Copies of this chain bind each other. A is one copy, B any other.
Amino acid sequence: VAPRSRARSRARRTADTRALFESRNLDAWVATASADGVAHLVPLSLAWDGARLILATEPDAVTTRNLAETGRARLGVGTTRDVVMVDARLESTVPAEQAPAAVLDAYLTQAVWDPRDQDIPFVVSILAPERVQAWREADEITGRTLMRDGAWLG
């Protein structure tokens, strides 16, 4: 008898991923690179406004500088054995106090801290996801792509 696969369907993984993106105290491992190929990685609070990912960083942080230089990030959300990987394109970076209200509301609700209320005011970066993949174990490598070219595959 063949072992029963526990691999989740794409619909199930998409629902799980959206629920994760909406959760409070959400964190991401945010990888960026400088234009000359030095990788950076740091855990950051993450928010989701239903379509875009939102990060808040210090204006002179390596992540802020890399986003400005290359306009791209790759994020890992969840755990190493229940992972969501996101390739995203930078839409804009603005001082936190100038961020659109809906973006700031999403951040305040999910991250539960205020990026405006820091010694050095933070900047807010809005990222458009282009590809989203989710898998747990080896049996979920097939079917891991949930979003391609910015569109959920459904």
Contact = CB atoms under 8 A, between A and B. Distances in A.
Interface of A: 27-29, 31-43, 66, 69-70, 72-76, 79-81, 83, 85
Given A29-B29, A33-B33, A76-B29, A83 B38 contact: no
Contact of A70 (B29, B38, B40, B75): B38
A31 to B, nearest CB: 4
A contacts with B: majority SS: strand
| Of A38, A41, A73, A74, most B-chain CB atoms within 10 Å | A41
B43 A83 contact: yes
B38 A41 contact: no
B37 A33 contact: yes
27 contacts: A27-B81, A28-B80, A29-B31, A29-B41, A29-B76, A29-B80, A31-B31, A31-B74, A32-B39, A33-B39, A35-B36, A35-B37, A36-B37, A37-B37, A37-B70, A38-B70, A39-B39, A39-B40, A39-B74, A41-B41, A41-B75, A41-B85, A42-B85, A43-B76, A43-B80, A43-B81, A79-B79
